[in-house]
Amino acid sequence: MRKKSFCAVLLSAGIALSFLGCSKEPARDTSSGSSALVETTESKTSQTAKETESKESAESTESTTSQTEATKVTTPEETPTPTETPTPTITPIPSITPRTASYFGEFIPYVMSDITKSEFTEEDIQDYYHFCEAVLAEEETFPCHSFEGYSCAYYTFSRSFFPYGYDAVKIPEMEDFKDGIARIHYAETKEWRQQHYEELKEATEKIISEVFREDYSDFEKIIALYQYFMKTYTYDQEMNCSTDGYREVYRPLMRNTGICNEFAAAYEFLLLQVGVEADSASGNINDGDGHRWNIVRLDGEYYYVDTTWCLGRNTLRYLLMDQEQRTEHGTEFNDGIGLTDVPRYDEALCPITSKKYSDLWLADDFEVDYEHDLIRYSAFDDNGKLVEKEFHYAK
């Protein structure tokens, strides 16, 4: 608390001034008349006034000196007000509105799911948007709230939502952030990055034009892309990693191969391109082996989709699963799958319990009739007989 200084009260002594007067009346000179009396009286009065004035002046000077000395003695020394260290001014980071497609099929370089938005702060999301725009503009710095925000933008978000940025930028270090500014270190050459960007853009737009129609419902987009993965991609049994500069979303799109985390990243990136809410989840299988798959939102409900285990098989076993199906039956392993390994979603916010599409989990050899909003498939009945069935879905 700041200390207050008080002014001293000046003390003045009151001095009573005495004026001297002559009470003895002068002798009257009758011979010389009244003029002598007047002269004598005036002379004495003038003398008395001068003496009185001189005494008043002396006393006034003495009083002033006394007051000055009293002030010097009684006035306490003022305590200087401490100087406060100025608080540095931090320029507020402006908000960015993320990019959206102006027409169906237009490439969006970075996306974001509602599920992920609900798990992070608005500052984290804004740091990610600023990072994306800075990388696309080849800028060296961008405004950022913290180093954690920078790391989150690169590691957590860009792997699935901004694949170009994940490949174009080097891993951020602590010294790359200071006073609200993050510094970007780019990978490879500018020419390499431009080519890398164009490859992703062309591959994404090609898939969108081949797989989707603008009038498709969200259900049709989900199953159409599921079919595309099933027929187009193969699991990378030998490498399980990238050695040619392509990773995450890039590998399936550019090399038609990959592993579970790359398929999951590509599936959600492509669905978000066409307006379907999608994210990913992870878990342990087969005594601890990690696995990743997807979460999608359809008609307000959340479901699991696994595009890794459907590869090369004409089955709907892994489409639109609830949590029970995912855990007990939607697996290639007898030990099932555990959901304890850092799932990227809050089960309280998006419970995965709907069995609306449970009939499809037994479907094999299926085909989708997009003109009549139905799926024709084969499945075994309770007697073990293979029968043909139809599933009608709402547009």
pLDDT at residue 24, rounded to an integer: 37
Q: Tell me which of 168, 187, 206 is where a domain ends.
A: 187
**Residue 235 contacts residue 197 (beta carbons within 8 Å):** no
Enclosing domain of residue 128: 106-187
**Residue 283 to residues 286, 339, 361, Cα–Cα distance (Å):** 10, 5, 20
Below-50 pLDDT ranges, the chain: 1-75, 88, 334, 339-344
**Residue 290 contacts residue 282 (beta carbons within 8 Å):** yes
Same domain, 174 and 236: no
**Does residue 341 lie within any of the structural domains?**
yes
Same domain, 244 and 166: no
Same domain, 183 and 239: no
**Does residue 121 lie within any of the structural domains?**
yes
Same domain, 141 and 265: no
Q: Tell me which of 169, 187, 205 is where a domain ends.
A: 187
What's the pLDDT tens digit per position in 223-252?
Answer: 999 999 999 999 998 765 555 667 899 999
Tokens of residue 112, six digits? 């974001």
**Does residue 338 lie within any of the structural domains?**
yes
Residues whose CB falls within 8 Å of the CB of residue 21, separated by 6 or more in sequence, listed in order: 48
Residues whose CB falls within 8 Å of the CB of residue 358, separated by 6 or more in sequence, listed in order: 322, 325
**Does residue 369 lie within any of the structural domains?**
yes
CB atoms within 10 A of CB 180: 14
**Does residue 362 lie within any of the structural domains?**
yes
The percent of residues in the chain predicted with pLDDT above 90, rounded, is 58
| Number of domains present in the structure of the chain | 2
Place of tokens 């009739």: 369
- Distance between CA 266 and CA 250 in Å, rounded? 8
For the whole model, what pTM was predicted? 0.74
**Does residue 233 lie within any of the structural domains?**
yes
What's the pLDDT tens digit per position in 319-352?
Answer: 999 988 887 766 655 455 554 343 445 666 678 9
